[in-house]
Structure 1
Amino acid sequence: MISRTLRVARSVAVAAVATVAVTMAMPTGNAFAIDHVECRGGENFLKIWSHLDGRSSVDCYANKGRTGFGSWWVDRISTGNNDLIYYDANGDSVRINRWTDITFPSRPPKVKDIEIL
């Protein structure tokens, strides 16, 4: 009788430890779904013009979230209907409000990550 009780208690303890371990391993916070989308006229996506190592790019993003930007130099940002924070290589974060179109002609930021709020 005692050994059966010990086995049940041990099983309950193992299950509790496993539950705690899985809970601790799971990421916290909201799951975000920022998407790199096709740039289309008439859409109010976040649009970023950038360059790196002789290459240039124009990229559009939609939906709330954060993603890496690859430390490209940013020449222009049009936020559309999105509030944005960009994180530069110096460790600074800069917020840009929706409906803003900004250019960086002389000293473009080197952007590591972008976040749509």
Structure 2
Amino acid sequence: MEPPPHFQGLTAFHKAPYREEENKIYTNPRSMMRSKLKSLALVAALVSAFTLAAPAGSAYAINTVSCGDHNFVELWGHSGNICFANAGTWKSYDFTGSSNCWWANKISTGNNDITFWDDHSANPTYIPRRTVMTFPTVGWVCVGTLRIH
């Protein structure tokens, strides 16, 4: 049997060892290692490029702002009023540092659709834009998490 085409024209002295019965070509282990390292480096570069290029989530884009603009979300509560702008999620624990909720008796959505989770309930409450909601039967609600859409 003839050796593969890439061995044609070479003298026997220059040919890499070739075993016809196994149809196997033996190569230099160092070149195989370099090839594997290059492939690994390429994969690592692609992973880091996609990680850096991936868009950041908007989980913390929400900001507390000075109240007064009726387009902002506003909560009236025990500790006064607090207002929010920009889409994102706000957790009252991150703001208060000790309590798991912001006690509110009135919520104004302004120009925003919002969802809030009462600290004692797993069920979210959706409130559409341009809505003012009060809680006359319970007086106060414990706003644990607020999301502006």
Tell me, yes or no, whether TM beats 0.5. yes
In structure 2, how many angstroms separate the alpha carbons of the residues matched to 1:64 and 1:114?
10
In structure 2, how many angstroms separate the alpha carbons of the residues matched to 1:80 and 1:73?
19
- Aligned-pair identity in percent equals 31
Aligned structure 1 segments of 4 or more residues deviating by more than 6 angstroms: 21-24
Q: Which has the higher contact order (CA 8 A, sep 6+)?
A: 1
Q: How does 1:31-50 map to 2 (within 5 A)?
A: 31-32=58-59, 33-40=61-68, 42-50=69-77
Contact 2:58 2:87 in 1 (8 A): no
In structure 2, how many angstroms separate the alpha carbons of the residues matched to 1:49 and 1:37?
14
Aligned CA RMSD, in angstroms, stands at 2.9
Gaps (5+ residues) in structure 1? none
Structure showing the higher strand proportion among its residues:
1
- Which amino acid is 1:49 matched to? W
The aligned length equals: 111
Cα shift at 1:20:
5.0
CA offset digits 1:53-103 (Å, max 9, x no partner): xxx220000111111123122210011111010011121200001110111
Gaps (5+ residues) in structure 2? 1-27, 94-100
Cα shift at 1:8:
2.8
Q: How does 1:3-82 map to 2 (within 5 A)?
A: 3-13=30-40, 16=43, 20=47, 30-32=57-59, 33-40=61-68, 42-51=69-78, 56-70=79-93, 71-82=101-112
What TM-score do you get using the length of structure 2 for normalisation?
A: 0.61
Query: What residue number does 2:144 align with?
Result: 112
- Which amino acid is 1:64 matched to? A
What TM-score do you get using the length of structure 1 for normalisation?
A: 0.76
